[in-house]
Structure 1
């Protein structure tokens, strides 16, 4: 009888613990902004422009960021941000991205993953575009940049010319 009671108690406590683990809520972000959250994941705050209106982060790391509209930010590469950016936030990386594109030689490429070297602090940030990884200085992502609402043609041509020059210099030197 005592053994049956102990076994029943053990089963009930295991079931209660399992139910509590599966119903875990998303981490509370309180009044924190996305710029406050990113450093907690080892990422620089300037990954997103200054036009973030809201975001949601679930317990599995699913992140959805809403901007006030589409925008462009000029880093070493020109980046395009769609009004909604989604992906999964992990320590040191933002993966399965949708909504960010980088331009190289007048062609726009989807950014699949953004990551940094671990452990932080990292000197570099990496953008995975398909099977290509581009390494950029992390210092340009330490500040939050303003959005440009459009991509001017003169800026595009000048940037493409400079990137082509850099590419061939790297290729032959």
Structure 2
């Protein structure tokens, strides 16, 4: 084998994609389920996502938006985390409202799916929620539009669906 074909073969190996890019929002929900997480952790407005060989998940939304599970959550237009079975660790781009404060969600963990619980690490505390809140992807609305639609006092989970 001459130097040129070896060089081309090595170059080809380097150019192989290191990430898997997906463009359908239903794929992110299937990916989450295959990793022991509920399908509804990310909203319906996911336009694409990448999962690299090291397990770094990058989710792209149409725009930053608000959704509601038990409390309001804010998704930035890009959310990143390390994905492993039952865990999204080192989250960036997701915040949860607690007692009128917006706190970054650091980790989301499902230790035992049979328990029916999911753990949200918001830094100051760990919050356990029912997995049933995350069965379906929520509708995510722009922050201004959401306040106009439901008003500040009537913001509720059922009103968003």
Give your verdict on TM over 0.5. Answer: yes
CA distance in 2 between counterparts of 1:28 and 1:134 reads 31
2: CA distance, partners of 1:77 / 1:155:
15
Q: Could you say which residue in structure 2 is the equivalent of 1:144?
A: 137
Partner residue of 2:97? 103
* Larger Cα-atom Rg: 1
Q: Cα offset for 1:113?
A: 0.3
Is 2:121 the counterpart of 1:125? Answer: no
- Asked if the contact 2:79/2:92 (under 8 Å) is kept, the reply is yes
**Does 1:49 find its partner at 2:43?**
yes
Shift in Å, 1:74: 1.1
State the superposition RMSD in angstroms: 2.7
5 Å-filtered alignment, 1:157-168, equals: 157=153
> 1:117 Cα deviation (Å)?
2.0
Q: Specify every segment of 5 or more residues in structure 1 that has no aligned partner in the other structure, as ranges.
A: 1-19, 160-173
1:166 aligned residue: none
SS in 2 for 1:42: coil
TM-score, normalised via structure 2 length? 0.75
For residue 80 of structure 1, the aligned residue among 71, 74, 81 is: 74
Q: Is the Cα contact below 8 Å between 2:67 and 2:138 reproduced in 1?
A: yes
TM-aligned CA deviation for residue 144 of structure 1: 1.1
Q: Determine if contact 2:20/2:50 at 8 Å carries over to the other structure.
A: no
Structure 2 unmatched runs, 5+ = 1-12, 156-161
Q: Compute the TM-score of the two structures, normalised by the length of structure 1.
A: 0.70
Moved over 3 A (4+): 23-32, 153-159
Residues 81, 100 of structure 1: 8 Å contact kept: yes
Quote how far apart the aligned CAs of 1:55 are: 0.3
Aligned length: 137
